Structure 1
């Protein structure tokens, strides 16, 4: 109640509480700032996604376990991100909560960020030219994963990966104004709360 009151007054909200879990051998930190989303549902979807990876490309789950320190679930301006400083794969809270999609796109997104982690673990450092190349590598991982799934399950993953692979470098790895993106997320959350 106090948090809502401070938010309404424009005050500073405290940092959201982080709950710690382990899902299929990977440390998971959940920052659930949305009262309309049950943490248990998000963890269930994450488990479904990791189970798909474990079933259809188990070596990739082994890579995730080795290359990531954790998966962080939180509100963010895109489906996923990799933070090299602390080897964290972020998976977006509302993306995990969606039930209009299967767990396959979620797994694909995690594998995409996991490939960024793998590249980082190999000591490769990005520059402007290499960023588009790295993004294409991550999309190829998504494509291979989608092709490994049963056709009906993998079709959306394959379609998205192929579409992205056909884009120009500037569109594959666009520049993002994270302040604008964060303000849009805040507006959506205020409207839903």
Structure 2
């Protein structure tokens, strides 16, 4: 029975960083697994050090952090309790680990909201609440950026503050995931996309 489940769902992640299961799905031969995992470890370490309560929530509310190619920096998959972190975003070395940590923290806030709404409220609210939820995530990013040493926190603060200034339909836009994936695939094929 267990072998059938593993074939169907995949083997459970055996890698753990900072107590969180990690599922690395590297589809890019030009990106080294060790580099991606080192950056993820560094990012999780920043959250644990500078926002320990948010880190405890992350550990409690998320089953696994999945790293794979995806059309956005990150996402929260509520049905699986998975924080998805984009592979090439983790591989970037032109930025520090702070924006990566901020993205993970952001998705962790989505996980916290989901856990609260499911456990306490019995389900999610209406779709109009998405802009409020995004603003909550951005405020958490802003607090994280302010807790970091200034050289690490500055880009996090700048991005979070800019996002908080957006209109509701801009802070929580509707995304055509097929179009986003097509653009990503074009870039991966080396096109102008």
> Which category of TM-score, normalised to the shorter sequence, fits these structures?
0.7 to 0.9
Pairing partner for 1:98 from 92, 103, 112? 92
1:20 and 1:154 mapped to 2: Cα distance? 32
Q: Cα 1:55–1:131, aligned 2, differ >3 Å: closer, same or farther?
A: same
Deviation of 1:128 (Å): 2.6
Pairing partner for 2:59 from 65, 80, 88? 65
Aligned equivalent of 2:4:
none
Q: After the TM superposition, which parts of structure 1 deviate over 2 Å for at least 4 consecutive aligned residues?
A: 16-20
2:96 and 2:125 mapped to 1: Cα distance? 32
Give me the CA root mean square deviation.
1.7
Pairing partner for 1:54 from 48, 54, 65? 48
2:156 and 2:81 mapped to 1: Cα distance? 25
Contact kept in structure 1, 2:13 and 2:21, CA below 8 Å: no
Unaligned runs of at least 5 residues, structure 2: 1-9, 118-122
- 1:130 paired with 2:129, answer yes
TM-score using structure 2 length? 0.88
Unaligned runs of at least 5 residues, structure 1: 1-15
Alignment of 1:160-171 (within 5 A): 160-171=159-170
Aligned residues: 177
2:88 and 2:12 mapped to 1: Cα distance? 16
Aligned equivalent of 1:44:
38
Contact kept in structure 1, 2:75 and 2:107, CA below 8 Å: yes
Aligned equivalent of 1:13:
none
Aligned equivalent of 1:158:
157
Deviation of 1:60 (Å): 1.3
Aligned equivalent of 2:3:
none
Deviation of 1:112 (Å): 0.2
2:171 and 2:160 mapped to 1: Cα distance? 11
Q: Cα 1:122–1:18, aligned 2, differ >3 Å: closer, same or farther?
A: closer
Write the deviation string for residues 6-60 of structure 1: whole angstroms up to 9, x where unpaired.
Answer: xxxxxxxxxx999641111000001000000001100000000011111111111
- Secondary structure class of the residue paired with 1:122: helix
Aligned equivalent of 1:180:
179
Aligned equivalent of 1:107:
101
- Secondary structure class of the residue paired with 1:86: coil
